[in-house]
A and B are shown apart, each in its own frame.
Chain A
Amino acid sequence: MNENVMMAARMSKTGAWLHYFANPGRFLRFVRPALPWAAAISFALTVAGIVWGYAFAPADWQQGDAARIMYVHVPAAWVAMSGYAMLAGVSFFSIVWRHPLADLAAEEIGPVGAGFTFVCLVSGALWGKPMWGAYWVWDARLTSVLVLFFLYLGHIALIRAFDNPAHGHRAAAILAMVGAINLPIIVFSVQWWNTLHQGNTISFTGGSKIYITMLYPLLISTVAFYLSFLTLVCARMCAAIMERRTRTLLVAAAERES
């Protein structure tokens, strides 16, 4: 009788555990087989884009070879912003639907996105010095991207700052969603205010102000950086799910033994 009650209790506990891991488990099952392929394609495209931009794309009429920095700076900037948009999106899911996979994604997007933002800032500074005559100026575009970088850093710190992970996820999700207001400011800063930074070259509405032989390497680099970002985030999420499962199994084994 007593044993039956205990059994039922364990069953329901197991059921809750399964329910909790149902979606991350499914994610792992679907994503893991695709990871080697995604990694191989990202690697090949990144090599192609970087080599093409560095060595084979034509020099610009105005900026000469310095325009080659565009092929790493611009894709890094786009990925940094899209990464933050994804972060805000999963935070929205986390706040409203309390989806465990969304918290996992938020935890893993942060460091990768911050890295791409850093690449964007450094390559931009190295582009600014020879062209503008200054590594850094406090114009609206540069400042808003620096704010994006600090938002990423704040999110990375906040999501890991609590003893109870759920509190960290909640607080970081709020930060990510509030910070999303910075994204339209970054995009439109060059139109709303006088900035030293040039305007947008690629537009969806009009023609792109870039010659086709320079557009191809830029597009390849962009696709490559996006795919690399997604692959990295997915691989880190899979690793996190497996780490969590390992911990749960170890705890369960320890409980059985005691």
Chain B
Amino acid sequence: MRGAKKRRLYLVLAIGLCLSAAVGLSLAAFSSTLTFFLSPRAVVAKHPAPGMNFRLGGIVQVGTVKTVINAGTPTTSFRVTDGQASVPVVYTGLLPDLFREGQGIVAIGAMNASGQFAADEVLAKHGSTYMPKDVEESLKNAGKWNPAFGPAPAADTWNTMKVKGSGS
């Protein structure tokens, strides 16, 4: 009886180990397909053919957003960057609420003939930092953080910071 239990235990452990190895290796092998979007660096390196659909993800570069309203529909052009490369994007339509300079976005579309990324859809990718508005403002006023230029500073410098009026 003890022997049978021990055998089952080792069997289960061995199968679990093999299975994890198999899944881990296949995930590593398929990691490029599992990636939801390409970074501007990858786009510049790979040169996707015009008309081939893909998703482009990165930060909206500060100072590049231009909107032209044509017959009621806005057309926005901006550059998406990852700090090392940047890709020009044009999009016709209403942008999501969270769209602003310095915001992470994922655009779905294809390169057009003039070397711009023509987006059919723009999704906003927001950060995982949660704080009330007045905490953000006091960080900004103190010069510790500007949301347009990168992520919030180390969490323990602000997550219990005393701010007037940010109660409960």
Contacts and interface: CB of A to CB of B under 8 A. Distances in A.
Asked whether any CB of A lies within 8 Å of a CB of B in the complex, the reply is: yes
Contact of A181 (B19, B126, B156): B19
26 contacts: A60-B130, A61-B133, A63-B126, A96-B5, A97-B5, A131-B96, A131-B98, A132-B124, A132-B125, A134-B121, A138-B36, A140-B36, A177-B16, A193-B31, A193-B35, A193-B36, A196-B57, A196-B123, A196-B125, A201-B130, A206-B155, A209-B152, A210-B129, A210-B131, A211-B130, A212-B159
A200 interface: yes
Contacts of A63: 98, 126
Interface string B126-163: 11111111011100000000010000101110111100
Interface residues on B, range: 35 or more
A92 B12 CA distance: 8
Contact of A96 (B9, B36, B123): B9
A85 to B, nearest CB: 14
B12 A96 contact: yes
Nearest to B132: A58
B159 A211 contact: yes
Nearest to B154: A207
Interface of B: 5, 8-9, 12, 16, 19-20, 23, 27, 31, 34-39, 57, 96-98, 106, 121-133, 135-137, 147, 152, 154-156, 158-161, 166-168
A209 B127 CA distance: 10
Q: Which of A97, A195, A211 has the most CB of B within 10 A?
A: A211
Given A60-B132, A210-B130, A214-B130, 20 more contacts: A60-B133, A61-B132, A62-B136, A70-B130, A92-B12, A95-B12, A130-B97, A132-B96, A132-B124, A132-B126, A193-B31, A194-B35, A194-B39, A196-B37, A196-B57, A196-B123, A196-B125, A209-B128, A209-B129, A213-B132
By DSSP majority rule, is chain A's interface helix, strand, loop, or mixed? loop
A97 B12 CA distance: 12
A102 B168 CA distance: 43
Contacts of A33: none
Contacts of A96: 5, 8-9, 12
A208 B129 CA distance: 9
A212 B98 CA distance: 23
A193 B34 contact: yes
Contact of A133 (B19, B39, B96): B96
Residue in A60, A63, A207, A209 with the greatest tally of chain B CB atoms within 10 Å: A209
A185 B133 CA distance: 33
A210 B131 CA distance: 6
A185 B31 CA distance: 12
A137 interface: yes
Contact of B168 (A56, A70, A133, A208): A56
A178 interface: yes
A201 B126 CA distance: 12
Contacts of A211: 130-132, 135, 158-161, 166
A119 to B, nearest CB: 20
A57 interface: yes
Q: List 5 A-B pairs, minimum CB-CB distance, nearest first.
A: A207-B155, A61-B136, A207-B156, A58-B132, A133-B96
A181 B31 CA distance: 16
B159 A210 contact: yes
A209 B139 CA distance: 14
A177 B12 contact: yes
B96 A194 contact: no
B122 to A, nearest CB: 7
Contact of A185 (B27, B57, B126, B129): B27
A137 B155 contact: no
Nearest to B31: A193
